[in-house]
């Protein structure tokens, strides 16, 4: 366990002792996008005191939990298993025996639990508790130097069907456009950006908040000529406002 991190948390733990951990509730916990020290004290307190933690990647989650001495039960919950687990998790929440924290909690569970809680009029209305955290979107946008007044978040692109049509539509969006990309497709996507936007200014960020964080800015051609290490998750921002 990282003793320095743990010591810092323990020093301030008493400040969170009066936070009520509700049963029959869904907690949405934002966890670090890179550096594990970015997690909030409130998030640690909630994770230490709930009954079940659902996460998209249990390996990464378990590593994070180990750093803070958290030993609560975890369950994997991602797109491919969502259909078979959403009812189970909702029943856990309904039972009142367990609270459920979502690390990267998926849309279906959130929406279906909202419908359930909307009928529980005799209970307290707030059964979804959000804990904010660092965001790759905002971190990369601020570091790009492009305007933050107005921007368009695309997220991940289609792999094949509809990809080129989407690029043509995005070319008409006159503001910075934010795209998430994997290390396996970063060069392909940058070439697609050049074909559809021309030699625009772009910012490419990877390994955000980690030790080897890298942010490359420039015109698309010059960025393609650089040695981009294909490791970590990428954020591409196209400055399409000019």
Q: What is the CATH number of the domain that holds 108?
A: 3.40.1010.10
With a cut of 50, say whether residue 122 has pLDDT above it: no
When pLDDT is averaged across residues 29-33 and rounded to a whole number, the result is 87
31-35, 56-60, 92-96, 150-154, range with greatest mean pLDDT: 150-154
Q: Are residues 156 and 61 in the same domain?
A: no
Q: Domain boundary at 81, 116, 131, which? A: 131
Range of the domain at 217: 136-239
Q: Are residues 52 and 99 in the same domain?
A: yes
Q: Are residues 121 and 174 in the same domain?
A: no
Cβ-contact 36, 134 below 8 angstroms: no
Burial class (CB in 10 A: 0-12, 13-18, 19+), 238: buried
CA contacts within 13 A on the Cβ side of 81? 12
With a cut of 70, say whether residue 118 has pLDDT above it: no
Report the range of poorest mean pLDDT among 24-38, 112-126, 222-236.
112-126
With a cut of 90, say whether residue 139 has pLDDT above it: yes
Q: Are residues 7 and 127 in the same domain?
A: yes
pLDDT value of position 105: 66
With a cut of 60, say whether residue 119 has pLDDT above it: no
Burial class (CB in 10 A: 0-12, 13-18, 19+), 202: buried
pLDDT digits (tens, 9 = 90+) for 143-155: 999 999 999 999 9
């Amino acid at each position: 366990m990282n003793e320095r991190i743990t010591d810092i948390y323990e020093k301030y733990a008493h400040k969170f002792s009066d936070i009520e951990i509700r049963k029959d509730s869904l907690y949405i916990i934002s966890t670090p996008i890179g550096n594990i020290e970015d997690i909030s004290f409130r998030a640690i307190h909630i994770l230490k005191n709930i009954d079940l933690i659902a996460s998209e990647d249990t390996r990464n989650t378990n590593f994070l939990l180990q750093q803070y001495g958290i030993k609560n039960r975890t369950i994997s919950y991602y797109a491919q298993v969502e259909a078979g687990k959403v009812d189970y998790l909702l029943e856990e929440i309904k039972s009142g025996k367990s609270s459920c924290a979502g690390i990267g909690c998926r849309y279906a569970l959130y929406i279906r639990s909202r419908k359930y809680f909307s009928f529980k009029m005799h209970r307290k209305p707030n059964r979804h508790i959000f804990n904010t955290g660092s965001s790759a979107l905002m971190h990369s946008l601020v570091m790009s130097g492009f305007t933050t007044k107005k921007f368009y978040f695309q997220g991940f692109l289609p792999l094949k069907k509809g990809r080129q049509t989407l690029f043509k539509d995005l070319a008409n969006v006159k503001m910075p456009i934010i795209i998430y990309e994997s290390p396996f497709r970063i060069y392909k996507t940058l070439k697609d950006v050049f074909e559809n936007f021309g030699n625009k200014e772009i910012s490419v960020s990877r390994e955000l908040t980690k030790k080897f964080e890298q942010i490359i800015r420039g015109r698309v051609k010059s960025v393609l000529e650089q040695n981009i290490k294909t490791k970590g998750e990428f954020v591409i921002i196209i400055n399409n406002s000019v």
